[in-house]
Each structure stands twice: as C-alpha cells, then as structure tokens.
C-alpha cells in the first residue's frame, strides 16, 4: 500500500510519511497530525518518535518509517 503512493511529489511524500507513521507506530490520525518536527529525534543513531496522543510514548522508528520521514523532512527543511 505504501509503495503505491506517488513519492515524486511533495504531497505524495507527505502522505507516505503520515500513513507510514500511523502504520508503524499504531498512532491515531489525531495524534499523528498533531505531531511536530521536534517530536522526531535521534537517539543512539536511531530515529525515535514522541507520540502524544492519550499518553506520551517514545517509540523507535521502523527502518522503512525512517526512510519515509527522511525523504519528507529533507523536502520540508
């Protein structure tokens, strides 16, 4: 499903990063859309996500999610 998203456009990169975030962290849409760039950080050479839905949780990123987030953040920054 994630590979079917057109990653050649900024919208496609955003959508792939958002859907990947929800798939790999089990975050709800409200928590995923409320996240900020500061909620993604590096710890011990690994990308982590700080999700603040009902409860604050720090989760290590799956390697595919890292790829999606790097591609999108590279475009945003």
For 5-29, the pLDDT digits (tens) are 999 999 999 999 999 999 998 888 8
pLDDT of residue 76: 62
Q: Which residue has the tokens 């975030």?
A: 21
What are the tens digits of pLDDT across the range 45-67?
889 998 876 678 898 999 999 99
pTM of the model: 0.81
Helix (H, G, I), strand (E, B) or coil at 34: helix
Evaluate if residue 42 carries a pLDDT over 80. yes
SS3 61: coil
pLDDT of residue 32: 87
Two tokens, residue 47: 């990308």
Q: Is the pLDDT of residue 34 over 60?
A: yes
User: Residue 54: what pLDDT?
Assistant: 66
């Amino acid at each position: 499903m994630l590979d079917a998203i057109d990653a050649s456009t900024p919208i496609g990169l955003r959508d792939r990063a958002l859907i990947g975030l929800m798939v790999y962290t089990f975050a709800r849409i409200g928590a995923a859309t409320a996240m900020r760039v500061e909620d993604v950080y590096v710890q011990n050479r690994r990308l982590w996500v700080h999700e603040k839905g009902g409860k604050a949780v720090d989760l290590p990123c799956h390697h595919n999610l890292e790829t999606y987030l790097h591609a999108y953040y590279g475009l945003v920054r």
